[in-house]
């Protein structure tokens, strides 16, 4: 508790917590995308994957931990943003108008809020509600709605923007800011954010426009 308390009470400590939670969430995204790609292989493989997760006794613990990571990442990020604005209220508008900032860094709050709204809808629809015909059919039926697909793809675009800045920012927080390392970190961050965005966004587009419905 002493270490956690010291992290929460200092600006640097809070930045470390945000960076650590963000990187752990990146790991979750990779695993989640891997599971979602089983949609392409059909109802049997995807439902077996979903049922395997449901039967895992560690699932409740994992869900609590994941929710904690999300809440910590959001709450501490908002706290840091508020502190930054309080520290430079007069120059904040000038700072934002200066060049050199990426779209990812400029839209962190907006993309984060869109992702939060998406997460609420996503969890309610696919985790809270009952699916008597199995998760595969629930997902494929949801992806028949062009409005939901549009919302899903927009959220994934926001995720890509968020990751494009957050990934490299996390490594800089941990001190990996050497001029020789920064170009590689930036390229890795952009490649990772692009792969995650395209991977997640293609699934609803495939289900809506190319797949033949539940198989």
Q: What is the 8-class DSSP label of residue 125?
A: I
98-151 tens-digit pLDDT: 445 677 777 888 888 899 999 999 999 888 888 888 999 999 999 999 999 999
Q: Are 211 and 140 in contact (CB under 8 A)?
A: yes
Question: In whole angstroms, what is the distance from residue 43 CA to residue 214 CA?
Answer: 7
Question: In whole angstroms, what is the distance from residue 65 CA to residue 21 CA?
Answer: 11
Task: Inform me whether the pLDDT recorded for 33 exceeds 90.
Answer: yes
Question: Residue 165 has which token pair?
Answer: 């800045």
Query: Of 135, 151, 148, which is closest to residue 39 (Cα–Cα)?
Result: 135
Write down the H helix ranges in the chain. 2-8, 11-36, 43-55, 59-87, 92-97, 103-106, 108-123, 135-142, 146-173, 182-209
Question: In whole angstroms, what is the distance from residue 208 CA to residue 144 CA?
Answer: 5
Q: Are 156 and 98 in contact (CB under 8 A)?
A: no
50-106 tens-digit pLDDT: 999 989 888 888 888 888 888 888 888 887 777 777 766 554 444 444 445 677 777
Q: Are 140 and 207 in contact (CB under 8 A)?
A: yes
| Range 4-27 average pLDDT | 76
Burial of 32 (0-12, 13-18, 19+ CB in 10 A): middle
Question: In whole angstroms, what is the distance from residue 126 CA to residue 32 CA?
Answer: 13
Distances (CA, A) of 210 to 2, 135, 156: 54, 19, 19
Q: What is the pLDDT of residue 94?
A: 46
> Is residue 21 classed as helix, strand or coil in its secondary structure?
helix
* Rg of the chain in Å (alpha carbons): 19
Distances (CA, A) of 22 to 30, 31, 37: 13, 15, 22
**128: how many CB neighbours lie within 10 A of its CB?**
7
pTM of the model: 0.82
């Amino acid at each position: 508790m002493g270490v956690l308390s010291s992290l929460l009470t200092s600006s640097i400590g809070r930045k470390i917590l945000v960076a650590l939670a963000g990187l752990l969430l990146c790991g979750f995204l990779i695993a989640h995308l891997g599971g979602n790609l089983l949609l392409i292989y059909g109802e049997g493989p995807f439902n077996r994957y979903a049922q395997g997760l449901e039967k895992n006794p560690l699932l409740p613990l994992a869900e609590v931990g994941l929710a904690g990571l999300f809440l910590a990442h959001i709450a501490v990020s908002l706290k840091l943003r508020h502190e930054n604005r309080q520290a430079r209220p007069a120059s904040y508008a000038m700072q934002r108008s200066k060049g050199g900032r990426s779209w990812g860094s400029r839209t962190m709050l907006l993309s984060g809020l869109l992702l939060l709204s998406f997460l609420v809808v996503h969890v309610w629809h696919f985790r809270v509600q009952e699916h008597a015909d199995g998760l595969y059919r629930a997902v494929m039926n949801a992806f028949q709605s062009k409005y939901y697909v549009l919302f899903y793809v927009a959220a994934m675009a926001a995720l890509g923007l968020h990751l494009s800045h957050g990934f490299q920012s996390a490594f800089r927080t941990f001190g990996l800011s050497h001029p020789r390392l920064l170009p590689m970190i930036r390229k890795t961050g952009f490649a990772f954010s692009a792969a995650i965005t395209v991977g997640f966004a293609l699934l609803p587009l495939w289900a809506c426009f190319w797949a033949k419905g539940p198989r």
